[in-house]
Each structure stands twice: as structure tokens, then as C-alpha cells.
Structure 1
């Protein structure tokens, strides 16, 4: 007995790119090279199943089936379970159909439970209601760190022994050509700026960086915030934005690589993270990272990064200043960061995912699914 195929939930393909979507794309590309490992478990090759309003094929891995009568969440909950029967369904972007049982679903973190204020009321309520259903019905839950696995268990999403960890890779950034013109466009001086996130979610804690950069000790440096949030959004939340803060907006991967290659460090004061990819992206390029010792950040960064308290900007000021004033200190963490980040490859992640798919498929088939 075999499954018809491995069906991959392609709802994410109709949306703009997010960090979660990028993880899905990287893992799907890894699976493409591992199809032979599923011999005897599936009758047909893996297939991406997407809503009918997908008008182009954004991935070069696997065929895409466009089908169904609905869009968005309704498509995922009503159309997808029917379209994926009798397949083994793989969901990589936090959600999946509640009606399915032969499914493997990746839930990246438990933030909607731990920090619900970071999301809209409707978004948090939907996730808080759906995730425990998926955790109890689906054959396996995946997440990206031991911390996230323990949090999902703590909040009752799934039993801990029902959750498998597949850490993210970070080596995708090495595939993009550096676009150093962004450094000149933003009037930046190499090693004289810190890169952070332009994100107003409460748990990202970017206000701490803004407070640190009001200090006279950092007046000769700039804080470059990358992402969609604008100055006005930070100010509307009561933050004072000092004049040495630069809002870079949304940038390309090549521009991000160039910024990180030229930056003094990455500043990442999040009070919780399911994984923490942005500092690792800096570290793999030799850019040191200063992090808050929260969530999965200590697990992921290990001894390859510097840490400072999430509630005390006074700790961040000397940590940043020493990277400027002590070249050997900067070089040591540049080297340590590269070594630590090199462990997190998409090949390793793809291998873990393939092993789990094979294990789950064999268990379900042995039970006569």
C-alpha cells in the first residue's frame, strides 16, 4: 500500500514573500532533489496544490495543480482537504486544513499565545483556535527550534513527543550577488552603522535600539532599519526616533547582503523568537550580532554572538561601542559568527524534513491509511 503522492500546500504562492514563505520555498527546493528517498511510499511525484487564482509559477520545483472553488483561508479549509485526498499533505506555513489527518504541518512559533499583542485581534484569535486543532489531528507537527517545540507544547498546541524540529538554513543569502550601491545611496560609512529591523511588533522590541541610539556615545554611528515600517509608525507608538536612524524600506536580497557585509553589526533585541533568522544572515557574512538572550536566540546563536539585556539600552551602548573601538573584538565575533551560522544549511534542513516525511508515511501506511 502507498500514498498517491506527497501533496504540498501551495496557498503561500499567491501571497507576497515573507520569512515563513521563504522557508517553505527553500525546503521545497531541497525536497526536489530527494524524491528518490521516498521510493515505495508514493505512487506519483510530489505536487504543489495551489488556489485557482495563482496565475504564475513562482517556483522551479515540482508541478503545480491549480484547483478549487474558493480563495485564501476558505480554499485551505474546504478545497485543499478534498484535493489532497488520498495524499500525505505537507503544510509549511503555520496553517493547514483542520479536516485533514494524514498531514505534516510546520508551525514556526507560539507567538500568538506568548505575545498576542504583536498581532491583530482577529489574526491572533484565528491562530489560537486553529493551531491546537492541527496539533491534535495532524500526523506530525514540525517547528524550527527546541524552544519553539517546548512553547508549542506548553501552550497545548501539541504534545512534545508529537513535534519534530527542523532548524532553518541561512546559506540562501550566499546565492545572491551583493549590491553595494545601497551603501552609497543611504550615505553610509562601512563599519559605522548597525542593521536592525523596521518592525513595530511588540516582541521585536526595536524601541530599545532607538533609545540606545539617542546616547552621545553612539552619535557617530547610524542605525539602519530594514523593512516596511516607517518613522511615523514608530512615533505613533510613543517612540522617539533620533536623527541618526535611517529607514531603508524594503530592499532586495542583494542589497541586504551588501548592507550586512558593510555593517558594524546586527542589533536584534527581540523578547522572544521562534528561531531568529536575521542575525544569522549577518553572521554567515561575517557581520557580528548583538542579541537579547530570549526565545530561541541563545539556542541558535550559541557562542557566535554577543548578548545584551532586552530591557536595558545601557547594556547595548558599550556592546556596540566596543565593536567600533576594538578591531580584534570585532574580528573575533565576525569569525565566531561565521562558524556558528555555517551549521545552519538548507541541505541539512532538507535532509531532516525528508527523514520525517519518510518516517510519518511509513507509520501511517503500517496502520493501513
Structure 2
């Protein structure tokens, strides 16, 4: 590839999210790839509005063309200024959206959940994403997604044709580089091995309500459910959920704190009704934390035989399966071993290599 490859860095100026984490890891892995190997002979630039939060790279140049653009709204920057400034470049958009007026793009769309689970999103969000997806799927040269399941969903909902979509699985090895911070154990009064981790998220498809019901059952009365993330107890209760007394809310935690919790948890529970990929289960596996997931969306594709599965609509199935993981040492050790082996096959270097092999097919040499 001889053209300049410009990464869309709009996400560096937004609140952190799982999608943004994937973009950061892909860019960092790409930087390592082009620094260490031949065959990626192009100029690479990360184009941002504000360089304050941007990491340093060995080969990728960080570009902020004009300080005045900080005053432009992120959407206007992405749709107007950015494609105009980089009109001769091939643009890589890694956070679902990208400029509609620039055809020479590869865009990573993580899932089709605005179609499959519309109740998880506001009306405005759904309409905006569906509008952009319609044109991105038809105008951009390449659509990338994170699982075969997401690919089938994007085809099913008419976002793009199957021959235009390439699957690039996420990596999870970044979690092994994070130093653990175990202070949350004392702060939440947790006993190692006797608590279960899950996301604090009220979106319907995340299905945390099933865990609240499971932890209200007698089988788990002596086990703590720790919910990490932005949603609070009051938000769950306002939606009509009953939060049992053995549930604790960790709030937003740092990466180091999350690693500290995963290293000490009895299990990670992930009961989503659908997922485009499902990165937290793989992160937990990499750290030796057993995983219980729902057999939904891309989770079987990602977790394989390295997780236990529980019916996403049956609280008793979750309480019994979690009890098995906590009490049966043979099962636990089997999951730990299989989980580490499974996680080893998902690396960011391989993801970056797969991404750029796909991009080569649509960018003339």
C-alpha cells in the first residue's frame, strides 16, 4: 500500500468505552506491526482534534491540522473537516461510524444491535446510527466486523453485502500488561474466590436482571455479586429490578482495579442476550478467571468450550452453574486451563495483521 493511511481519531476526544478500547489496541498493534515488519510500506497518520490524550507511537504520526478545530463538534469534525483535510488518504474508521462523503474508507462496525435490540438505545441514537450505517455500508470500500455472528447480522439487516464484510476478531492480550490493583477487595469487603463479577449495565440486551434474580436465590446467598461499571443501584431499582443484599456496586473502576478483581473473582458472569464479540469474558480467561456466559450472539464463537453456558432466561440455571464453578475444584481448574489456552489465540498483533491484509485488497498498491 503506497497511500497514506489515516486513522479516524475522533474517539480520543470522547468518554471511554469498549469500542474505543478496541480502536486504541488496534492502532497500537498496527504501530508495532509496521515498526517490526516489512510489507506495510505506507505512511500512517492518526488524525485527532485534541492531542492531549493521545499515546506516543513509533511509526504512526499524530496529526492535528489546526488548533481551531477543537471548537468544532465531534460529528461536524468527522463528517466535514476530517474527510476534507484527508481527501487524498485512505481512511480507517474503527468506532462504527465514519465520514459519508469519503468513499475510500474501511469502517469497523462492531454489531447490528441498533436493529436487533432497539430497546437498548434511545430513539435519536437508533435513527442516527441506522442512517449512517445505510450509507457507510454502500459507500465505503470495506466493512470490517469482529465476529462471524456480527457479519451475519449486518447482512441480515441490509447494512452491507456479505462479500464486502471481513471478520477481524479482537485481541485480549492487552490485559496481561496491566498491573493489578487489589484495593477494591478491601473497599468492598470481598473474600477472594467467593465473589462473582459482572457488568453494571442497564441495557436490556446485557440481561443483568437475570443475575439479580439468580443471586436472590438460596443457592447463592453466601456469594457476592460485584457489578462494575457506570450503572448504579438506584438506576436498576428505578427500572423495577430488585437488588438483593449480596450485590455490591464497584462503580467505574480503573483497568488495574478490574484486573485485580478478575484475578481474585470466583467467576465472571456474562448473561448477554446478544453480543457482537464479548471482550470481558476473554479478558477474564486470560487472567485465569472462570467464565459463565449465555449461549447467545457471538459468545459461543468467542468462548468456545472454555466457558460454561447458562440459559439467559433461567435464574436457576445461573445460580446452579455459578455454584458448580465455585465449589467443584476439578471444573474450576479445567475452566482456568481451557480459558487461558482459548485467550492465547486472540492477540492484537494478529488482529492488526488481519485488518491490513483485508485493507490491501481494496487499496491499490
Taking structure 1 as the reference length, the TM-score comes to 0.94
Aligned residue for 1:24?
23
Alignment of 1:1-369 (within 5 A): 2-3=2-3, 5-35=4-34, 36-39=38-41, 42=42, 45-51=43-49, 54-61=50-57, 62-67=60-65, 69=69, 70-362=72-364
* Pairwise CA distance, 1:60: 1.4
CA apart distance, 1:360: 1.9
Following superposition, the deviation at residue 140 of structure 1 comes to 0.2
CA contact (8 A) 1:139 1:360 kept: yes
4+ residue runs of structure 1 moved beyond 3 angstroms? Answer: none
Partners of 1:38 and 1:358 within 8 A in 2? no
Larger mean Cα displacement after TM superposition, 323-332 or 61-70: 61-70
Preserved CA contact (<8 Å) 2:142 2:359:
no
CA distance in 2, matches of 1:251, 1:140: 35
Return the alpha-carbon distance in structure 2 between the equivalents of residues 88 and 159 of structure 1: 21
Q: Secondary structure of 2:250's match?
A: strand
Equivalents in 2 of 1:83, 1:142: separation in Å? 24
Contact 2:230–2:251 (CA under 8 A) maintained in structure 1: yes
What is the alpha-carbon distance in structure 2 between the residues aligned to residue 84 and residue 55 of structure 1? Answer: 17
For the aligned residue pairs, the C-alpha RMSD in angstroms reads: 1.3
Using the alignment, how far apart are the partners of 2:32 and 2:197 within structure 1? 35
Question: Aligned partners of 1:337 and 1:251: how far apart in 2?
Answer: 23
1:110 and 1:151 in contact (8 A); partners too: yes
What is the aligned length?
356
* DSSP 3-state at the match of 1:104: strand
Checking the alignment, whether the CA contact within 8 Å between 1:57 and 1:64 is kept in structure 2 is: no
> Given that residues 11 and 76 in structure 1 are in contact (C-alpha distance below 8 angstroms), is that contact kept between their aligned partners in structure 2?
yes
Unpaired stretches in structure 1, ≥5 consecutive residues: none
Q: Distance in 2 between matches of 1:334 and 1:250?
A: 26
| TM-score of the aligned structures, taking structure 2 as reference length | 0.95
Q: Distance in 2 between matches of 1:105 and 1:130?
A: 11
- Kept in 1: contact 2:210–2:315 (CA 8 A): yes
